[in-house]
Copies of this chain bind each other. A is one copy, B any other.
Amino acid sequence: MSDYAALNPRERILMGPGPSTVPSRVLRALGAPTLGHLDPQYIGYMDDACQMMRDVFQTENLLTFPVSGTGMAGMETVVVNLVEPGDEVIVGINGVFGGRMKDNMERAGATVHVVEAAWGDVISDEAMAKAISQHPNAKLVGIVHAETSTGAHQPLEEISKLVHDAGMLLAVDTVTSLGGHEVKVDQWQIDAVYSGTQKCLSCPPGLSPVSFSPRAIERMEARTTKVKSWYLDVSMLKNYYIGAGGRAYHHTAPINMVYALREALAIVLEEGLENRFARHKQVHEMLRSGLEELGLKYVPEHSLHTLNCVMVPTGVDEAAVRKRLLEEYDLEIGGGLGEFAGKAWRIGLMGHGATRRNVQTLLAALKDCMN
């Protein structure tokens, strides 16, 4: 290359809100020779990936596949396929991603009723029950399981009962929980769920695993209007991803990203879900006690293990600390988002990166850079 430097990305430890560090095994899968999107060998790999996604989502949902975009494309897929113009919906907002879900729903033509909680808190069962009784015509409730902007870990089981008792559907954002926390799609009766590859699955960003329950499929089949997005229209996508017999071409799937996702999911299943969740809990506790020793306070009462959001102490230049961590230690953590911009740090312990070694390294480096 004459005008451009050779591509040599530094080998950072990624402990921000995502992407997380990708294991070499997944990067090698990513770089395997590209096959055609209708090649039987590729279809086999894709089917494997869809089955592994079902296993990680703990679901029997046939309609489980990777959307050809990042996590936010997964959110949009869920919204545009389940919402029709004029629909009433309820959305829980306790951070940036609930707000995005509302924006997405409104763009799809919905009237959105909001259940709010303070940033860092979770949506209470009582608040959700009240919203459901106030808006009995709502068709769908959207909520964030793992609020990446605050680290809050939303309980879902009670809310799911309330939603289904009212005959509504439940849509859940699991971008920062899938692969690091329990996500029991069938047991919790989640009707539509989306995630990202670049968090606790430790795969590069670029795909969004989604899954739809039979109830959600019924709703989609009863639509009276076309889905607003051609690219994300599940009525066509399903003929490629789960077509019985021949697979109908819709768009060219991101072949190599699917290789990487298949490999990343295989690693998750080899470790075992319960082992993996226990590991995330253990390293979170280790990080937590270390951060508290440094005088750092967690934002949420119910913290995720995978994303640790702490307030920056008064007088500390948070951006300068992150810059030093990156430059002196090749270690990335995240700043605050939205209301917390400039006020919080977000430290990810996700998938491959959720190790005792990384925790100790970060604690030592942070101590150095805060002084």
Interface of A toward B, CB cutoff 8 Å: 1-2, 4, 7-12, 14, 16, 18-19, 21-22, 27-37, 39, 41-42, 45, 48, 52, 68-73, 75-76, 100, 103-104, 106-108, 196, 198, 204-206, 226-231, 249-257, 259-260, 262-263, 266, 269-270, 326, 332, 337
A206's partner among B2, B8, B257 (CB-CB below 8 A) is B257
Given contacts A9-B259, A28-B31, A35-B9, contact A231 B21 (CB under 8 A): no
B76 touches A230 (CB 8 A): yes
A196 touches B8 (CB 8 A): no
Residue ID in chain B nearest A333 by CB atoms: B36
Given contacts A14-B36, A70-B68, A266-B1, contact A257 B254 (CB under 8 A): yes
Bound-state Cα–Cα, A262 to B68, Å: 20
A76 touches B30 (CB 8 A): no
Bound-state Cα–Cα, A21 to B106, Å: 41
- Mostly helix, strand, loop or mixed at chain A's interface? loop
B70 touches A270 (CB 8 A): no
Further contacts, 8 of them, CB under 8 A, given A19-B255, A72-B230, A73-B231: A4-B266, A7-B263, A28-B31, A34-B205, A75-B231, A76-B230, A107-B227, A204-B254
What chain B residues lie within 8 Å of A70 (beta carbons)? 68, 251-254
User: What are 20 A-B contacts with C-beta separation under 8 Å?
Assistant: A4-B52, A9-B33, A9-B34, A9-B42, A9-B45, A14-B35, A19-B252, A27-B32, A27-B256, A30-B30, A30-B256, A31-B31, A72-B250, A72-B251, A76-B231, A106-B226, A108-B228, A198-B252, A206-B256, A254-B257
A30 touches B33 (CB 8 A): no
What chain B residues lie within 8 Å of A231 (beta carbons)? 69, 72-73, 75-76
What chain B residues lie within 8 Å of A39 (beta carbons)? 12, 326, 332
**Smallest CB separation, A88 vs chain B (Å):** 19
Bound-state Cα–Cα, A137 to B153, Å: 52
A19 touches B34 (CB 8 A): yes
What chain B residues lie within 8 Å of A337 (beta carbons)? 249
Residue ID in chain B nearest A32 by CB atoms: B9
Residue ID in chain B nearest A48 by CB atoms: B4
B34 touches A14 (CB 8 A): yes
